[in-house]
Structure 1
């Protein structure tokens, strides 16, 4: 990548517009994927402890970065995230230190609150549950979590802090109390979920948006056979043919051309190389609009919860009105409260 292929954070730090996502990259696969990425010119790796592979990513960093290894630590932008059971202010720094140990790093370039809701600290599980199997929540205000995140910047453990899966209201909640403002919002985004309004909200507040699952996450285990396949979208296929690119490259180019950082996941060497080869062509303005117009409010990353024989994820996908209700939680049948992941 050239130095023009970056988003500039409000801190002045440059964040590469294309990074390697590591969600769903299994141990035994992710080390080699990170090595291939760094060899292919990637200088941005997106991580999280909940992915279960940070120790192996750390092995790749140790092998590839450092004096006489050709890649300097300061040239690689590394992101990780604070998991939902670690929102208590006392847990924030220890969680980061564990990530730094696993990644074999002295600091992170960016640390995000992974989700805006808090799960109970009880036990060592990442998904604590009640006796009836429902998730066990806690009620610590994420603004207190943010204050603890700010201290990490002061200690030099992270260069910047940000948010993931927060909506516009929640972003403004954080901004209302922040001494150190969030620099990045990471959310699901792709042509079927263009996030135009949220992107504008971020721009107005000097946040850079990062898109996860930018290709529709076709390898996730719970995909439905009847869901739309983003990589088979005819309009994108036509652009791919015109520019002699893959559909994935067209989608990534669309995101980067509108200033959205994109973190496609792959463990295949050829695809890792392809996904970053998007800076040698430019989509025309009408083509950018054509891709944006594919928006249909479709989320691929939706938990499926069945209550009284009603599949909640189906309701969300079928009705914008219901989706907005579920954004803040909605009561179905007496005292059953569903809190979804966004």
Structure 2
């Protein structure tokens, strides 16, 4: 086994260290890769040097991730649970004040962990409790009591069930609303971000407020129902990769790293997992940045899980 790579950390507003690259365990929403596939991939990732693992109740991967962590501890791949950073998320059907605590307790049961390091509100919308087919129609929707939900998220942190709390897919406007009443501000906003969807306004807002961004779909999520080929097919990005003798993915990840955000990558391929960590010993040039700034901006995921929710992005995207 090759020696594992060292991944830098950032320090969140709650003084916890978050590795700048983590392994995402999402496949097509609502269906997980086989449990064994996820478990094997997570174990391999730990061997390579990954210490942040991103999951969610909707992904169906919490149990497999928990099994991999238990196995890694048993094998001595990590010295203790505290060496790992685990993020999970509250799904829309649990986006109700009375369901937050039970949802997190269920997540911890699936993971077989005493706490997660970060618990996020997955989307700024609420569904009526139950199982609904995605994309959701108006019948499935419920009023979203952000203040009530966030109060319970804060309680989860105070109880020690999570070390930090945050959000995902929140616009500047929604963050501003949240910050107006939050006693504990969100440590992280996990958003879709890559060279073809650079989110400059939202990135600047989060950085000004001390909220770290975790970028998901950093390569555009080609081949998924919510993904796009725009990133992988971009000729300017291919030119930069060729000039540096790097992979296409490494250029995209290095750009995100230099933008000051953290990243959740999704690959279960051993060689690609390794390459995704090899971005810290080289830099992009000024010319590279000029090319990346020219990349046409395009968002395929316009409305998220409910197509008709027109204010989801508050016209910021």
Fold conserved between structures, TM > 0.5: yes
Contact residue 47 and residue 77 of structure 2 kept, 8 A = no
Residue matched to 2:195:
191
1:2 CA drift (Å): 3.6
Tell me which moved more, 72-81 or 287-296.
287-296
Distance (Å, rounded) in 2 between the aligned partners of 1:277 and 1:187: 23
Residue matched to 1:159:
163
Residue matched to 1:301:
301
Distance (Å, rounded) in 2 between the aligned partners of 1:243 and 1:156: 45
Contact residue 27 and residue 52 of structure 1 kept, 8 A = no
Residue matched to 2:115:
107
Residue matched to 1:12:
15
Distance (Å, rounded) in 2 between the aligned partners of 1:69 and 1:222: 34
Residue matched to 1:37:
45
User: 1:288 and 1:136, CA in 2 relative to 1: closer, same or farther beyond 3 A?
Assistant: same
Distance (Å, rounded) in 2 between the aligned partners of 1:186 and 1:278: 21
Distance (Å, rounded) in 1 between the aligned partners of 2:87 and 2:312: 27
Structure with the greater alpha carbon radius of gyration = 1
Contact residue 88 and residue 140 of structure 1 kept, 8 A = yes
User: 1:67 and 1:181, CA in 2 relative to 1: closer, same or farther beyond 3 A?
Assistant: farther
Distance (Å, rounded) in 2 between the aligned partners of 1:12 and 1:107: 16
| TM-score of the pair, normalised by structure 2 | 0.89
What does the per-residue CA deviation read over 1:169-222, in whole Å, with 9 as the maximum and x for residues that have no partner? 110111111111101001111111000110000011100011111101012046
Residue matched to 1:26:
33
Gap runs ≥5 in structure 2: none
Contact residue 214 and residue 261 of structure 2 kept, 8 A = yes
Contact residue 129 and residue 136 of structure 1 kept, 8 A = no
Residue matched to 1:48:
56
Secondary structure in structure 1 of the residue aligned to 2:289: helix
The within-5 A match list for 1:1-342 is 1-2=5-6, 5-24=8-27, 25-28=32-35, 29-65=37-73, 68-121=76-129, 123=130, 125-127=131-133, 134-221=138-225, 228-296=229-297, 298-302=298-302, 326-328=310-312
Q: RMSD of the alignment, in Å?
A: 2.7
| TM-score of the pair, normalised by structure 1 | 0.82
Distance (Å, rounded) in 2 between the aligned partners of 1:254 and 1:128: 32
1:285 CA drift (Å): 3.3
User: 1:42 and 1:126, CA in 2 relative to 1: closer, same or farther beyond 3 A?
Assistant: farther
1:299 CA drift (Å): 1.8
Distance (Å, rounded) in 1 between the aligned partners of 2:49 and 2:114: 22
Gap runs ≥5 in structure 1: 307-311, 314-324, 331-339
User: 1:220 and 1:50, CA in 2 relative to 1: closer, same or farther beyond 3 A?
Assistant: same
Distance (Å, rounded) in 2 between the aligned partners of 1:135 and 1:36: 43
Contact residue 47 and residue 79 of structure 1 kept, 8 A = yes
What does the per-residue CA deviation read over 1:270-299, in whole Å, with 9 as the maximum and x for residues that have no partner? 111111111121112342343243141x12
